[in-house]
Amino acid sequence: MNKLLTLLRKDGFQAFWLLAPSVIGFSIFYLIPFLLGFWESFTEGAGVGGSKFVGLHNYIDLLGSSSFRKAAANTLLFTAVSVPLLILLSLGLALLLNRPLFLRDGIRTSIVLPLVVPVASTVTIWQIFFDWNGTLNEWLHEIGQGRIDWMQSDWSIGIVAVMFLWKNLGYNMILFLAGLQSIPRSYYESASIEGAGPLRRLYHITLVYLTPTMFFVVLISIVNSFKVFRETYLLAGDYPYDRLYMMQHYMNNMFASLDVQKLTAAAILMVGCIALLVALLLAVERRFRENME
């Protein structure tokens, strides 16, 4: 009995009992459904019991689908353009607002404010501004220019990118500010005494010690860029302009048509793509740290 009580008091068992509720909930609502979906992607037919294993047939059909290729290309283009812009803008704002500045607290609040605005409200504002009879077209009309159907043109992906930047800029800026404020001020003072200029201090101190935060922000930004479906769906519906047709549109349409196998195959490929990007980022970060040491 005493041995059992001693075993139960060990840190490993205590950690297990503390983590058990979260592990059970994660398994029920995430892990088990994901494994079932992974199995479904290799089958055809209705339900787990009545389905038939078909191997990679669903994946081959998926890669041969023009709709899927268009959705994947648009999603990757959106991520490749919007994420670097988001990183540069949020880092620049964090560097600016990390120093004494007039009305600094008010500027920080205004940048962070979009985080608490619901997506539906954000989309409504964008619709009012970019609609055919919206504010922007009214301004163009007043200066003698023709109206533009913004959401049915190549401008549409730029509009969604601006909305993505506006919505996520504050969150990334907070993360960068936390990373900047964790760098000891003595490093900058020593560099100034040795004659290092602002650019050298930025490159050799700020960016070096901000590297862990940088990789985390890049990772979060990539994941968020794959979740832009809510905005595009509310703005343009099930079948938007070609440039706005994202991966989530494809999966949503497969769900609406009850094509579960294609849906799960697309989801598995999307998870695999994100996992590959994460592994690449972690490898780059590990290599960078080894070089720094």
Interatomic CA distance for residues 46 and 66, integer angstroms: 25
CA of 258: how far to CAs of 38, 45, 55, 251, 253, in Å? 16, 11, 20, 10, 9
Q: Which of 45-59, 93-107, 224-238, 267-281 has the highest mean pLDDT?
A: 267-281
Q: Is residue 98 over pLDDT 90?
A: no
Domains of the chain: 59-291 (1.10.3720.10)
Q: What's the chain's average pLDDT?
A: 81
Q: Is residue 84 over pLDDT 70?
A: yes
Q: Does the pTM of the predicted model rise above 0.85?
A: no
Q: What is the pLDDT of residues 190-237, one digit of tens each?
A: 888 877 777 888 887 888 888 888 888 998 898 888 888 777 877 777
Sign (positive or negative) of CA dihedral 235, 238, 239, 243 = positive
Interatomic CA distance for residues 238 and 240, integer angstroms: 6
Q: Output the pLDDT for position 90.
A: 92
Other beta carbons within 10 Å of 65: 15
Q: Output the pLDDT for position 91.
A: 92
Interatomic CA distance for residues 134 and 4, integer angstroms: 72
Q: What is the pLDDT of residues 265-293, one digit of tens each?
A: 888 888 888 888 888 888 887 787 666 65
Q: What is the pLDDT of residues 129-161, one digit of tens each?
A: 888 788 888 888 888 888 888 888 888 888 888
Q: Output the pLDDT for position 87.
A: 93
Look at residue 289 and give its three-state secondary structure: helix
CA of 167: how far to CAs of 100, 126, 231, 248, in Å? 25, 12, 10, 19
Q: Output the pLDDT for position 1.
A: 53
Q: What is the pLDDT of residues 243-253, one digit of tens each?
A: 888 888 888 88
